[in-house]
Amino acid sequence: MKIYFIPEKVRVLIFDVDSTLYTNPEYANEQIDGQIRHFAQIRKISADEARRLFSDFRKNWAQTHSGQKISLGNLLTHFGISIEESILWRKKLINPSEFLKPDARLFKTLSDLKEKFYLICVTNNPVLTARKTLEALGISGLIPEIIGLDTTLKSKPAREIFELAAKTAGTALNTKIKFEECISIGDRYDIDLDLPLKLGMGAILVDGVKDVYLLPEVL
């Protein structure tokens, strides 16, 4: 875990989902590689060719964007795959229940956090896919709202996503939530934390769910 900033007054915790609320390298890889293989079928190239194509693009992107990473959804747009099409792919190809199971410790952790903070998820997967993930983990009832790829048709990092997360939390709490009252929690700095920090939010980088378990002590 790396804590970048914790605001003085925190009311909302904004969680990334994948590789944050669970640790399952096989599933995390399949989410990406499944889409790469699907892309390869459409373009009539081999899966290895598609992997090299995407890997080279990521390297070039990082070199021309100060070392920053690009999300898969945004990467695909450079190859003619719209966000709308990415949403359809993810709904079809990603099956959380095949890889994940209920996590009692995570349930207890989030239950404890929920007593002090409003919990919301922000993900680059569609809402349905993210909801199935939370259900597979046994925590769906603890997080009523999800901001997904199909909510804004934008992929993290995008300001609109975090703006909507704060607005949604404010609606639920019947008040206006400032960025300075939120903490973004995720496993990728460039995607989950860089922009929230610039907006004035707190930011905590986690190395999978083992770090999430520690959040009640940290906060």
pLDDT in tens, 67-120: 988 989 999 999 999 999 999 999 999 999 999 999 999 999 999 999 999 999
Residues 44 and 12 in one domain: no
- Is the backbone peptide bond immediately before 157 cis, with ω within 30 degrees of 0? yes
pLDDT at 51: 97
Domain closes at, from 97, 115, 135? 97
Q: Which residues contact 168 (CB under 8 A, 6 or more apart)?
A: 120, 145, 147
10 Å CB burial of residue 172 (0-12, 13-18, 19+) is: middle
Domain closes at, from 69, 97, 125? 97
Taking the mean position of all CA atoms in its chain, how far away is CA 182?
16
pLDDT in tens, 4-25: 999 999 999 999 999 999 999 9
Domain with 48 in it: 26-97
Domain closes at, from 81, 97, 113? 97
pLDDT in tens, 18-54: 999 999 999 999 999 999 999 999 999 999 999 999 9
Residues 174 and 137 in one domain: yes
Residue that has been written with the tokens 């349930």 in this structure: 107
Classify 181 as helix, strand or coil.
helix
For residues 219 and 215, give the distance between their C-alpha atoms in angstroms, rounded to a whole number.
6
Residues 139 and 196 in one domain: yes
pLDDT above 90 covers a percentage of the chain that reads 97
Residues 14 and 118 in one domain: yes
pLDDT at 164: 97
pLDDT at 11: 98
Residue that has been written with the tokens 């680059």 in this structure: 124
Q: How confident is the model at residue 176 (pLDDT cuts 50, 70, 90)?
A: very high
pLDDT at 173: 96
Residues 15 and 35 in one domain: no
pLDDT at 39: 96
Residues 189 and 81 in one domain: no
This prediction has a pTM of 0.89
pLDDT in tens, 115-161: 999 999 999 999 999 999 999 999 999 999 999 999 999 989 999 99
Residues 47 and 14 in one domain: no
First to last CA, the chain: 13
